[in-house]
Amino acid sequence: MDTCREQLSPRFGWEHRLWNLTQVEALLEEHRPEFVPMFKGFPKLVQRIDVAKYLVLEIFGGLYLDTDVECFREPSDTLDGFDMIVQEDYPGAAVNSGVIACKAKHPVWQHAFDLMVERKDHDPKDTGHSTGPQIVRDMLLRWHNVTLGKSGLLPPLLRHPSGRITRIYKLGSWCTPCGYADNDCHENFMLQRVVGSVNLTNFVAYHRFTATWLGYRDGVRPQAKDTVRAMFCKDCTEELRQCRAQQLAETPS
């Protein structure tokens, strides 16, 4: 998050707010008291975090970022002109709930809370369906009264009769060069960054999808370990740089 504090700084008009669950519960008591028992009843912390980000975005608006997002530059030019901005992910899930921007008091969030209530008896282990990306996908489908296309993805722009516009940035742009489960893409992206060959023109940030919420022993899903090594370990980064340079040298031209 340090890169995001730097890029989204007060000099650009940004204000950072970090919320804890006590503060979120107080917001719920004030704005959605009927939802408090369900919030307290969620078996997973990540489910309560999902509720928290939807609530804060509904009340205050702004840009929500998961803590494993690395910011490359100030993003205002990618937000202007839209009422909500989300990031595309793989077909079916359709959107990534780790990076969301919207204007305050957006009516779409009512559908998110309705959907979570409707799914309260669903398998609590299925976080994506009960509170996660499928909630964001389905609230957009419901509010805009559209269906997923044959590709399993949403179109890049959705216009509501009220005049509100939702922007869905395509996978491979904005904040997500790679889909959640595309481990080869994440590794290649990091290796290209190590040797300085990646083009960041189309990106304002990088969502790393380290998935610490899944509860792996060392806090990182196994498929992400090489990527995380490249990001956080200087010695490993130099090792990867040399390895990648050798690979490039051995690649036939």
pLDDT in tens, 31-86: 999 999 999 999 889 999 999 999 999 999 999 999 889 999 999 999 999 999 99
Residue 16 has pLDDT above 70, yes or no: yes
Q: How confident is the model at residue 232 (pLDDT cuts 50, 70, 90)?
A: very low
Nearest to 67 by CA among 99, 21, 104, 27: 99
Alpha-carbon distance values, 93 to 5, 118, 152, 166, 182 (Å): 29, 18, 8, 17, 14
> How confident is residue 208, by pLDDT bands cut at 50, 70 and 90?
confident
pLDDT confidence of 217, banded at 50, 70, 90? Answer: very low
Following DSSP, what letter does each residue of the chain receive, concatenated? -HHHHHHS-GGGT-------HHHHHHHHHHH-GGGHHHHHH-SSHHHHHHHHHHHHHHHH-EEEE-TTEEE-S--HHHHTT-SEEEEE-STTT-EEEEEEEE-TT-TTHHHHHHHHHHTTTS-TT-HHHHTSHHHHHHHHHHHHT----TTSS--SEEE-TTS-EEEEEPTTBBTBSS-TT-HHHHHHHHHHHHTT----TTBSEEE----GGG--TTSS-GGGHHHHHHHH-HHHHHHHHHHHHHHHHHS--
Q: Residue 165: pLDDT above 80?
A: yes
Q: Please give the mean pLDDT across all residues of the chain.
A: 85
Lowest mean pLDDT among 64-68, 81-85, 168-172, 221-225: 221-225
- pLDDT at residue number 23: 95
Q: Are 79 and 12 in contact (CB under 8 A)?
A: no
Whether residue 147 contacts residue 141, with contact meaning beta carbons closer than 8 Å, is answered with: yes
* For residues 171-191, average pLDDT: 88
Question: Considering the entire predicted model, what is its pTM?
Answer: 0.83
What percent of the chain stands above pLDDT 70? 82
Average pLDDT over residues 172-184: 89
Report pLDDT for 250. 55
Name the amino acid, one letter, at 11.
R
How far apart CA 246 and CA 240 sit, in angstroms, is 10
Q: Which of the four pLDDT bands, split at 50, 70 and 90, describes residue 214?
A: low
Which pLDDT score, from 0 to 100, does residue 238 have? 57
